[in-house]
Amino acid sequence: MDLPGSSTLARDRVLTLAATNQVAVTCVAPNVMTFAVELGCGEVDYVPASRARQLLIVSNSSPLGYRPDVLRAVMAQRDAAERFAAQAATLATAGGYGGMLLDFRSLGARDVNSLIGLVAAVSDAARARNLPTVGIVIPVADTAAYPGRQLGALTHFLALQLELEPSSPGPFAPRVRMARLVGARAAEIGANRLMLLIPAGGYLWREGAPRVPVSFEGAAAAAREWGVDFVRDESSATLRARAPGRGEVWVSDAVLIAGIVRDARRLGIRKFALYGLGGEDPAIWPAIRAEPEITR
């Protein structure tokens, strides 16, 4: 769809992911051949009513995090994978969605062949039910577990999650490195087959504690509590605040996100999404001059 307006970004193609429901895969019996696909979260209340549901998110997530063990049980036998694919496609059709976005996280390089088989089964099931679009979320940096060429051949687009997982306080979406990684992915299948999933929040490290997700508002509150100001990390263009002995916070803002979008558009990428919404830097929207698609 085209967005009204005179800017180039406003004319970029947008695939709406707004107000989708989450699909969690859960084992309902010790027998790994028995599983269910269940609808999870309710509608996102801040999405404008004019945004119709289009893509159903199909995921191995759970309240305790992503479950690679459950997904491996599904992928272990061809019949289980085909039944999973058929059930997911049936849910998408029954819900009036125009397709599915697969979000199969926390897999490793040894799972590649099984993952490719499962994605092929889902794509076949989608075609059989006349669902026009299947995409898949992949980590931007993990080419061993999520090879773009093979997965791109089975889907309509790859949704690149622009987030690293630093084990110590630091940038999670460094702009320069992200530009290199996105460029490499574009070389695999073409920029027109990519969507960028850009984090709108950040992470908080309190002294002696693991990192936790934080909104822009939450990051600002932590900085105020510590009595320190945000500074922009020169190497990554990410905002950070640091209080010795108390902690650090790193967070996305309008400058970082607008820069990532500009870098991607130079490569020919025209599909974008923000996740972690609800407390994002309010300056994001005017900075990119037109809303990208919205997902939770």
pLDDT of 182 strictly over 70: yes
pLDDT of 43 strictly over 50: no
Higher pLDDT, 12 or 105: 105
How confident is the model at residue 242, as a pLDDT? Answer: 96
How confident is the model at residue 24, as a pLDDT? Answer: 30
Give the DSSP per-residue string, 189-212. H-GGGEEEEEE-SEEEEETTS--E
Q: Structure pTM? A: 0.80
Side chain identity at 158, as an amino acid letter? L
Identify any residues that bridge with 77 across adjacent strands, giving them in sequence order.
none
Residue 52 is encoded by which pair of tokens?
């119709």
Higher pLDDT, 26 or 196: 196
Residue 124 lies in a domain: yes
Residue 214 lies in a domain: no
Residue 175 is encoded by which pair of tokens?
């702009």
pLDDT of 3 strictly over 90: no
Residues above pLDDT 90, as percent of the chain: 50
Residue 126 lies in a domain: yes
pLDDT of 40 strictly over 50: no
Domain of residue 173, CATH code:
3.20.20.80
Listed in sequence order, the residues at least 6 apart from 282 whose beta carbon sits closer than 8 Å to its beta carbon are none
Burial degree of 264 (CB within 10 A; 0-12, 13-18, 19+):
buried
Residue 144 lies in a domain: yes
Quote the mean pLDDT of the chain. 79
Q: How many domains does the chain have?
A: 1
Residue 223 lies in a domain: no
Higher pLDDT, 146 or 14: 146
- 């979000």: which residue's tokens? 103
- 């063990």: which residue's tokens? 69
Higher pLDDT, 96 or 282: 282
- Distance between CA 226 and CA 234 in Å, rounded? 22
How confident is the model at residue 137, as a pLDDT? Answer: 93
pLDDT of 106 strictly over 60: yes
Domain region containing 138: 9-200+253-294
Residue 17 lies in a domain: yes
Picking from 55, 1, 43, the residue whose alpha carbon sits closest to that of residue 19 is: 43
Residue 121 lies in a domain: yes
Q: What is the mean pLDDT of residues 252-263?
A: 92
pLDDT one-digit tens code per residue, 195-220: 998 888 999 999 888 899 999 999 99
How confident is the model at residue 289, as a pLDDT? Answer: 65
Residue 281 lies in a domain: yes
How confident is the model at residue 77, as a pLDDT? Answer: 86
Residues above pLDDT 70, as percent of the chain: 79
- Distance between CA 141 and CA 154 in Å, rounded? 20
pLDDT one-digit tens code per residue, 225-257: 999 999 999 989 999 999 999 999 999 999 999
